[in-house]
Amino acid sequence: MSKKVGVGLLGLGTVGSGVASILENPENRHPLVNDIQIIQVAVRDLSRKRSSELTNATLTDNPQSVVDDPKVAVVVEVMGGIEPARTLIMRAISAGKSVVTANKALIARHGEEIATAANAAGVYVLIEAAVGGGIPIIEPLKQSLGGNKINKVSGIINGTTNYILSRMANEGVPYTDVLTKAQELGYAEADPAADVEGFDAADKIAILSGLAFGGSIKRSEIPTQGITKLQSRDVDFAKRLGYAVKLLAISERLDPSPQDSNSLPLAVRVKPTLVPLNHPLAGVDGVNNAILVEGDPIGQVMFYGPGAGAGPTASAVVADILNIAGIGQTQKKHNRKP
């Protein structure tokens, strides 16, 4: 029997519980799921009642002890926020541990520092869950579309605002009522201003731009407008005129490139946009996301699926854990039989 890969979970909220639920129930999933074991889980409030079943893991309110546990080989950061998440991830990397994170706010601001440290330490930091919830978009941009010159990445990349806008358009429900529902469903960020002000979509388009076009994007320079000023009647008028209102994030190559050689030749923005009802993005409703990638020679590819919530996000997190575990196993086999 192969030795189990020890996982340390930082956070047991919406995403952490989803991850625990998959790893604690390996039946009929990829055989490697059987080889993953949650060792320790960090939460903020130990007295809170938890719905997740954790068979053999220890719960702690000391996240550093999770990172430092010698039985933990992979640290899964699903606690959110910039600090202490950044320090904990850097500590894991320094200890030679690979990291999986869903934290787009952190990666959009400190992704370069983290990637540099990971490369130097020879470990992985995988971020599939950071953009598009359950939609595989990070690996396709890093690998499957690698032969293309990407010209544009655009789409709906915030589930909460798309859920709100869809229900406003289809049921005429007031904005604030739907936001409360999106929070109950676990779609919204801890501070939902990140969703409705467009900041979360800006974090995600910064990450996608870096992957699609190479180089880093200054997150603070992305023009960002959210949906807080929209009312049900705006969405209703738009519909009657043949449009859906969607919060779009767009990143496109500028041709010709600007004179300023310090910045990537890109136009990046997040804003509510009128989308003709016959456009493929107009039919993307509810918590779903859709990302259009335009490249040469592939043309246009659309990635579509659930963009937030426990199950879809955990699906992406576990895929990253399995990738790391799989690489470890391949290397072990390879070492045994060169």
Active-site annotation, residues: 204
Q: Does residue 189 belong to the site contacting ligand HSE (CB under 6 A)?
A: yes
Nearer to ligand NAP, 157 or 282 (CB): 157
Nearer to ligand HSE, 20 or 165 (CB): 165
Q: Does residue 187 belong to the site contacting ligand HSE (CB under 6 A)?
A: yes
Among 66, 188, 316, 317, binds ligand HSE (CB under 6 A): 188
Among 133, 295, 305, 328, binds ligand NAP (CB under 6 A): 133
Select the span of 166-174, 185-193, 209-217, 258-266 touching ligand HSE (CB under 6 A).
185-193
Report the residue closest to ligand HSE, judged by CB: 160
Q: Least distance (Å) from ligand NAP to the CB of residue 105? A: 6
- Residues within window 198-237 making contact with ligand HSE, judged by CB under 6 A: 200
Residue 251 near residue 154, CB atoms below 8 Å: yes
Identity of the amino acid at 155 = G
Measured CA to CA, the distance from residue 102 to residue 89 in angstroms comes to 12
Q: Does residue 309 belong to the site contacting ligand NAP (CB under 6 A)?
A: yes
- Count of CA atoms in the C-beta half-sphere (13 A) of 82: 6
Q: Does residue 107 belong to the site contacting ligand NAP (CB under 6 A)?
A: no
Q: Does residue 44 belong to the site contacting ligand NAP (CB under 6 A)?
A: yes
Nearer to ligand NAP, 29 or 44 (CB): 44
The token pair at 216 is: 């880093």
Q: What is the DSSP string of 201-239?
A: HHHHHHHHHHHHHSS---GGGS-B--STT--HHHHHHHH
Measured CA to CA, the distance from residue 337 to residue 86 in angstroms comes to 38
Q: Which helix (H) or strand (E) holds 20?
A: helix 14-23
Residue 76 near residue 9, CB atoms below 8 Å: yes
Q: For residue 84, is the peptide bond before it cis, meaning its omega torsion is within 30 degrees of 0?
A: yes
Select the span of 146-154, 187-195, 252-260, 328-336 touching ligand HSE (CB under 6 A).
187-195
Select the span of 34-42, 88-96, 152-160, 270-278 touching ligand HSE (CB under 6 A).
152-160
Contact pattern from residue 14 through residue 43 relative to ligand NAP, giving x for each residue in contact according to CB under 6 A and a dash for the rest:
xxx-------------------------xx
The token pair at 203 is: 């974090």
Residue 239 near residue 169, CB atoms below 8 Å: yes
Distance of CA 40 to the CA centre of its chain: 23
Among 190, 267, 302, 327, binds ligand NAP (CB under 6 A): 190
Q: What is the DSSP string of 55-98?
A: SSPEEES-HHHHHH-TT--EEEE-S-SSTTHHHHHHHHHHTT-E
Give residues in contact with ligand HSE (CB under 6 A): 133, 158-160, 187-189, 195, 200, 307-308
Chain positions contacting ligand NAP, by CB under 6 A: 11-16, 42-45, 48, 63, 78-80, 84, 102-104, 129, 133, 186-187, 189-190, 308-309, 313
